[in-house]
Amino acid sequence: MKKISLLTLLVLLSPITHAADPSNLPFEATGKITQNSCQMALSQEVVINAVSFDKMHDAAYVKSKGADSNATLLVINATECSPGTVSASIIGTADANDPELLGITQGDGYAKHVGIAFISAQNNAIVAPNTGTATQTGGTESQHNFEFQINPVKETNSTAEPGKIKATAQIHINYL
């Protein structure tokens, strides 16, 4: 009788001793390592210079020649950034007919077939909303400067009509 009880006790205790064995415990670590975000010097509305409709270029001209005399300078200073390569991108609604341009508000009194070109001062190229990026134009390891020429232009291959313009976008600073 004692032999059966001892054998039963050993069989019942073996899973308990196995579960307490610390060498068989799995470990998994998850998380995210981030860079310090930059301090931004711009958080204001940009008023575009008045543009004479008959002197307004189309997007094809601006794409090949860069900003014209209708452009308004936008300077963004990002300070206290983590070291490394940094770029800026424009996030907003792209123009329905010319996706390299930022779309403007549609409706009564607003210009038609007109968009906003963000032109990087670094390489004089259009930075398309949601897909393009601009590199810095100066600064240090922890400070990055971005300069854009904000240029209202006629859509390529469209007949534009004069009116008010209004557009909204966010500028994202990207760590590469």
Q: Which of the two residues, 129 and 1, has the higher pLDDT score?
A: 129
**Prediction pTM value:** 0.71
**pLDDT at 94 exceeding the cut of 90:** yes
Say which range, 30-34, 44-48, 51-55, has the weakest mean pLDDT. Answer: 30-34
Out of 2.60.40.1090, 2.40.50.140, 3.40.50.150, 2.160.10.10, the CATH code matching 39-175 is 2.60.40.1090
Q: Which of 84, 66, 158, 42 is nearest to 120 (CA)?
A: 66
Phi-psi region of 130 (alpha: psi -120 to 50; beta: other; left: phi over 0): left
The pLDDT assigned to 7 comes to: 47
Mean pLDDT, residues 35-43: 66
The set of residues, in sequence order, having a beta carbon less than 8 Å from that of 22 and lying 6+ positions away, is none
pLDDT band at 44 (very low <50, low <70, confident <90, very high): low
Mean pLDDT, residues 157-176: 86
